[in-house]
Amino acid sequence: MKHKTKGFTLIETLVSLFILSIAITASFAVISTNLTTATYVKNSFIASGLAQEGLEIARNLRDSDWVANPPRPFGSFGSADSISDGTYRVQWDSQNLMSGNWNSEPLNINSQGLYNYDGAADPTNVATPFYRGVTIERVSDSEIRVYVEVIWRGHLKEYSVSGEEHLYDWY
């Protein structure tokens, strides 16, 4: 007389659990990689926007020199005199280039989603991983090279996005 047993034996159960644990581990690895990639892509988009904003602020400051009364000299970027070559900071509402070590102080974001250097002056500010520097280099009497670099520190690595524009004295 044969006995037919129904169900799993202990070895079959252990093999099933092993295969299931491999599948779950692989799924978590894929999810983790996707989250890391999504964070990188999000930060790349933000950094690209911050670099573009830096270039536009520099162009706006150049334009404001022309319409000032009396007009300011080309390359003064909102100040009374010409700015010397160097690296500066800017934020969305800058009236001139801001001096300071750009890669020692991160940009903050406030409750309206605006990036700034106001820090503790605005209690809604939250520090971000982004740092932005605007480098001004006089190429000639009528041309200025503006180079913007945005860096951020990700998981175990530093990333950067940059942009360049040449501004001319058309006035």
Looking at residue 112, what is its pLDDT?
Answer: 92
Domain for residue 1, yes or no?
no
Q: What pTM, to 2 d.p., does this model score?
A: 0.83
Domain for residue 53, yes or no?
yes
User: Residue 116 contacts by C-beta under 8 Å, 6 or more apart in sequence?
Assistant: 91, 92, 93, 107, 108, 109, 110, 122, 125
Domain for residue 51, yes or no?
yes
Range of the domain at 91: 10-168
Q: Residue 74: what residue type?
A: F
Domain for residue 3, yes or no?
no
Q: What is the mean pLDDT of the chain?
A: 91
CA–CA dist 135, 148 (Å, integer): 6
Domain for residue 15, yes or no?
yes
Looking at residue 3, what is its pLDDT?
Answer: 62
Domain for residue 67, yes or no?
yes
Domain for residue 113, yes or no?
yes
Does residue 109 register a pLDDT over 80?
Answer: yes
Count the domains in the chain. 1
Beta-carbon count within 10 A of 147 CB: 19
